Structure 1
Amino acid sequence: MMDMPRFSVSYGRIRLRPLLPTDHPSFATYRADPQVARYQGFAPYTAADAAAFIEANAQTPIPPEPGQWVQLALTRAADGVLLGDCALHRQAAEPRFGEFGITLAPAWQGQGYAREAVLALLGYCFEELVLHRVLALTDVRNQGCVHLLESVGMRREAHFQHNGWYKGEWCDELQYALLATEWAQRSTPASPDEKIGAPNP
């Protein structure tokens, strides 16, 4: 099992590392934003919610055990600024299947950071964890996320109608996936991401 404080994955301008108590001010600020939470599985956070989440998340190893989710800090490699966070999950029934989510603070959206984070996460999943398949779900209305997932070469596999109850309404979700063989054969796309990424727990 990987030692959490030593976990670090980089790609381009970003670095993924463990989420730390010192991240609380920035983490609490962007997760309190209703627009950030709009297409996510969480409601806007309070400061106490953010502190409790970071504390609980610190008990989860990186990589997570099958059936667990773990949250990773998404930082700018040059100066360590927290840009957002990523979630990583391994399925309990089939640990070689993974799922991820991503949240980016509004100030850093539309600059390609989310795309670099997803590529870093996919590389970690396929090259370090040797996963067979990785998926992501997104609300159909979140076109920024749709563009992001397609820009890194993920395939749209399904359109699930009324697949989740979020913010007081049923929503349709799209499922995207990528296989290890597809990752190995990829040609890295050049287009940057838009807005918010895939749903984050």
Structure 2
Amino acid sequence: MRPPGDADRTALIRLMTDPVTREYLGGAVDYASRQALELSPLGITWGRWVLALAEDDTMIGSITLDYDRGELELSYALLPEWTGLGYAAESCIALLDWARRELEDEVVIAISQTRNKRSVALLRKLGFTVRKGLEEFGTQQLLLERSLREPLPAQEAPLQTAEDPPPPTRR
């Protein structure tokens, strides 16, 4: 995890516009929105980091910890070719561990579409439980929560396996 930089612009725009990545995040971004992203500053604020490979610093996704809903919220997204390899789990564990040590919050939430079986499975393995269901962006969502004071799963344990639901496919 690291702060985003200018070299990440192309990958960040792809992350925000890729139809597979966006399948559970409100759908494809239209042409005008994509043009606005390409012309604007990155707009990355506190609580948002790039996920990059250690060996060559290639950006593979992003992770966010912020208060958009008035509560500490975790969210993450990976480019399609990097899903199912454990990077989301590793990143979430690292960021939740940091939040446990550095923040005064007791609880962290996460929102996932009910259809996003893979993300829901990962969040459950990370110790999140369902607080409630809700509808946003025209689809059913789950608001999940976990105590920051509860122990985190060991990073050595594989949190994403071949038995987890497959990633979305292009339609």
TM-score by length of 2: 0.80
2:75 pairs, out of 101, 111, 114, with 101
CA contact (8 A) 2:62 2:78 kept: yes
Helix, strand or coil: the match of 2:50?
A: strand
Q: Distance in 1 between matches of 2:64 and 2:38?
A: 15
1:114-193 to structure 2, matched below 5 A, reads 114-160=88-134, 163-165=135-137, 170-182=138-150, 185-188=151-154, 189-192=157-160
Q: Would you say the 8 A contact 1:88–1:98 is kept in 2?
A: yes
Q: Does 1:79 align with 2:53?
A: no
Residue 32 of structure 1: aligned partner? 17
- How far 1:92 sits from its partner (Å)? 7.8
Specify the code of the residue in structure 2 equivalent to 1:129: L
**Alpha-carbon offset, residue 72 of structure 1:** 1.2
1:9 is matched with none
Match status 1:49 vs 2:37: yes
The answer for the alignment partner of 1:4 in structure 2 is: none
Gaps of 5+ in 2: none
Which structure 1 segments of 5+ residues have no match? Answer: 1-15, 63-69, 197-201
Calculate percent identity across the aligned residue pairs.
25
Aligned residues of 2:97 and 2:152 also touching (Cα < 8 A): no
Alpha-carbon offset, residue 118 of structure 1 = 0.9
Give the TM-score normalised by the residue count of structure 1. 0.69
Change (3 A) 1:87 1:47: farther
Letter in 2 for 1:115: A
Residues 155-195 of structure 1 show CA distances to partners (whole Å, capped at 9, x for unaligned) of 122222xx212xxxx2111111111222xx34435322764
SS in 1 for 2:60: strand
Contact kept, 8 Å, 1:85 with 1:102, in 2: the verdict is yes
**Which 4+ runs in 1 deviate beyond 4 A?**
none
In the alignment, residue 126 of structure 1 is paired with which amino acid? R
Q: Which is bigger in relative contact order (C-alpha 8 A, separation at least 6)?
A: 1
More strand by share: 1
Contact 1:27/1:50, CA 8 A, preserved across alignment: no
Contact 2:114–2:120 under 8 Å retained in 1: yes
Letter in 2 for 1:18: P
Q: Alpha-carbon deviation of 1:38?
A: 1.3
**Cα distance in 1 for residues equivalent to 2:27 and 2:64:** 13
- 2-structure distance, mates of 1:114, 1:88: 14
Change (3 A) 1:79 1:20: same
Q: 1:150 to 1:181 in 2, by over 3 A?
A: same
Alignment size in residue pairs: 159
Q: For 2:103, give the aligned amino acid.
A: L
With 136-145 and 148-157 compared, the bigger mean Cα shift is at: 148-157
